[in-house]
């Protein structure tokens, strides 16, 4: 999962992009990058690390221009090397820089096509470089008969991208001297939102992965970028929009609302905060229905994303809500951990317990989700060590039983604790006295409350239904690649632990 931003303004945009990326830092902590454009000249800075570490004053001074794009990276394809930090750049046609959130499922096929048919060289393992070259080729074909770049040519190029690229993707690109392009995959799996504010010579326009980045910078929300839609923002702030996919059907990712997005964001007109609050209510209703004689003394959230659900959960059950864990805010989200011992150590580095809230109590811990189960088990053991009589565990998401192929790095089913295991088996595996999962129907209904026009969500991690229908080939390729990497590196183990 990554975060992207693109801005066209009447003044320098480097500080604005920096600030927006800081707001989106939760979406990726592996690398950060920014490309600005001054007339027709690009300036680039990117590298591994957090936004605050990648960009120094000397870099910011060189990032000149009134339009640009930015990216924070969490790697799902390729590697964590600095060469794969974004944005990427090609000089033809016009000069294009691009950043991308999501994951292509037919990258291998596209790499072959780009080399054999389009005569384009791919220098990294990143699917973002692939989608850039596909877009560049399609744009060159659309502009073959003239030198002027028109919105119609841009939209024709994006249509070509949709025909060739499969998967989930939200893209921002800056075209030297012309403007910023933003588009979303045909299902709208990955989020992208458009905003505007008053500028000097002309209105200033911004697109970003989440609305929180817009509002933090004083932009007013205009609309979400639609499924299959492209938006061309000219250098004068004029916005031109068009749906470029004949199969567009909005199906946003449910896991954005469960975990990834900030609670103060609105995605596809759905409040993330409101969803998480209501998830807590539904977990409580399930406990009341299936376990009416519960002996829960206290509800304790596992920081941070489960706190929104914990408050209404405790209120509905009529028990106290307590803060039993203290989080070290200076350690980022633990997306990738090389091995079991490191994962266990990371839990203790990030969380410490307040024994007073556990001692001699029956505790219900609530987390946003359970992926591998390693983190959950370690936290339960911490609660027992702090003196809890019984430790119950609730997830405000349904069981995660299937791999994700659209931008979340959990592509191996054998790594998922809920895959092919019953609730009772998972209870024993994570050492819980009782385990409560939210039902998928409840998650879907809560999300739909915010936007009744959405008929379907991308929910493959819960139900195994993949919208693009090409999961088998992709997962076989991933399994093969991981097997080869393990042979060459005993420490290779890219799995997610959510804390």
In a domain, 43, yes or no: yes
Domain containing residue 12: CATH number: 3.60.20.10
Q: Which pLDDT does position 86 carry in this prediction?
A: 96
Q: Is the same domain home to 238 and 288?
A: no
Q: Is the same domain home to 220 and 296?
A: no
* 2 carries an active-site annotation: yes
In a domain, 479, yes or no: no
Q: Is the same domain home to 287 and 186?
A: no
| CA–CA dist 262, 308 (Å, integer) | 11
Residues at the binding site for Mg(2+) are: 305, 367-368
Domain containing residue 408: CATH number: 3.40.50.2020
Q: Is the same domain home to 53 and 181?
A: yes
* Structural domain count of the chain: 2
Q: Is the same domain home to 163 and 290?
A: no
Q: Is the same domain home to 227 and 283?
A: no
Q: Is the same domain home to 122 and 89?
A: yes
Q: Which pLDDT does position 336 carry in this prediction?
A: 41
In a domain, 499, yes or no: no
Q: Is the same domain home to 31 and 127?
A: yes
Q: Which pLDDT does position 493 carry in this prediction?
A: 33
SS (H, E, C) the chain: CCEEEEEECCCCCHHHHHHHHHHCHHHCCCEEEEEEEECCEEEEEEEECCHHHHCCHHHHHHCCCCEEEEEEECCCCCCCCHHHCCCEEECCCCCEEEEEEEEECCHHHHHHHHHHCCCCCCCCCCHHHHHHHHHHHHHHHHCCCCCCCCHHHHHHHHHHHHHHCCEEEEEEEEECCCEEEEEECCCCCCCCEEEEECCCCCCEEEEECCHHHHHHCCCEEEEECCCCEEEEEECCCCEEEEECCCCCCCCCEHHHHHHHCCCCCEECCEEHHHHHHHHHHHHHHHHHHHCCCCCCCEEEECCCCCHHHHHHHHHHHCCEECCCEEECCCCCCCCCCCCHHHHHHHHHHHEEECHHHCCCCEEEEEECCCCCCHHHHHHHHHHHHCCCCEEEEEECCCCCCCCCCCCCCCCCHHHCCCCCCCHHHHHHHHCCCEEEECCHHHHHHHHHHHCCCCCCCECHHHHCCCCCCCHHHHHHHHHHHHHHHHHHCCCCCCCCCCC
In a domain, 486, yes or no: no
Q: Is the same domain home to 308 and 195?
A: no
| Residue ranges for the chain with pLDDT beneath 50 | 78, 335-340, 489-499
Range of the domain at 340: 274-459
In a domain, 472, yes or no: no
Q: Which pLDDT does position 190 carry in this prediction?
A: 97
Q: Is the same domain home to 455 and 306?
A: yes
Choice among 2, 143, 244, 253 that is catalytic = 2
Q: Is the same domain home to 406 and 318?
A: yes
Residues at the binding site are: 305, 367-368
Domain boundary among 184, 215, 250: 250
In a domain, 268, yes or no: no
Q: Is the same domain home to 148 and 86?
A: yes
In a domain, 480, yes or no: no
In a domain, 208, yes or no: yes
């Amino acid at each position: 999962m990554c975060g992207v931003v693109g801005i066209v303004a009447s003044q320098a945009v480097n500080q604005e992009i920096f600030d927006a990326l800081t707001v989106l830092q939760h979406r990726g902590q592996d690398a950060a990058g920014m490309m600005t454009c001054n007339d027709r000249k690009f300036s680039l800075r990117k590298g591994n690390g957090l936004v605050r570490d990648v960009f120094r004053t000397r870099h910011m001074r060189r990032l000149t221009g009134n339009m640009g794009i930015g990216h924070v990276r969490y790697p799902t394809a390729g590697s964590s090397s600095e060469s794969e930090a974004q944005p990427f750049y090609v000089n033809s046609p016009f000069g294009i820089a691009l950043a991308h959130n999501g994951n292509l499922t037919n990258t291998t096929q596209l790499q072959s096509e780009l080399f054999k048919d389009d005569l384009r060289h791919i220098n990294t393992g990143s699917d973002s470089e692939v989608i850039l070259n596909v877009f560049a080729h399609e744009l060159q074909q659309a502009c073959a008969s003239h030198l002027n770049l028109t919105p119609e040519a841009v939209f024709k190029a994006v249509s070509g991208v949709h025909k060739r690229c499969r998967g989930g993707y939200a893209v921002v690109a800056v075209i030297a001297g012309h403007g910023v392009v933003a588009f979303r995959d045909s299902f709208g799996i990955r989020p992208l939102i458009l905003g505007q504010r008053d500028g000097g010579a002309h209105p200033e326009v911004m697109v970003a992965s989440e609305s929180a980045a817009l509002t933090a910078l004083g932009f007013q929300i205009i609309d979400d970028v639609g499924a299959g839609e492209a938006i061309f923002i000219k250098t004068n702030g004029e916005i031109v929009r068009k749906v470029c996919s004949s199969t567009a059907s909005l199906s946003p990712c449910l896991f954005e609302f469960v975990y990834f997005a900030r609670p103060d964001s609105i995605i596809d007109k759905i409040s993330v905060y409101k969803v998480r609050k209501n998830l807590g209510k539904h977990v409580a209703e399930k406990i009341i229905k299936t376990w009416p004689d519960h002996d829960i003394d206290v509800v304790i959230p596992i920081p941070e994303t489960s706190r929104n659900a914990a408050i209404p959960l405790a209120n509905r059950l009529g028990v106290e809500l307590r803060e039993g864990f203290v989080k070290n805010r200076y350690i980022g989200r633990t997306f990738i951990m090389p091995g079991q011992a490191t994962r266990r150590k990371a839990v203790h580095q990030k969380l410490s317990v307040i024994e007073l809230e556990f001692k001699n109590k029956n505790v219900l811990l609530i987390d946003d989700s359970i992926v591998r189960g390693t983190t959950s088990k370690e936290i339960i053991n911490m609660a027992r060590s702090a003196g809890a009589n019984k430790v119950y565990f609730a997830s405000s998401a349904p069981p995660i039983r299937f791999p994700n192929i659209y931008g979340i790095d959990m592509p191996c089913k054998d790594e998922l604790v809920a895959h092919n295991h019953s609730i009772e088996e998972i209870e024993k595996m994570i050492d819980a006295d009782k385990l409560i999962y939210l039902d998928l129907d409840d998650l879907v209904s809560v999300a739909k409350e915010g936007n009744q026009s959405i008929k379907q969500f991308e929910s493959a991690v819960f139900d195994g239904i993949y919208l693009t229908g090409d999961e088998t080939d992709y997962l076989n390729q991933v399994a093969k690649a991981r097997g080869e990497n393990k042979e060459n590196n005993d420490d290779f183990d890219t799995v997610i632990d959510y804390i």
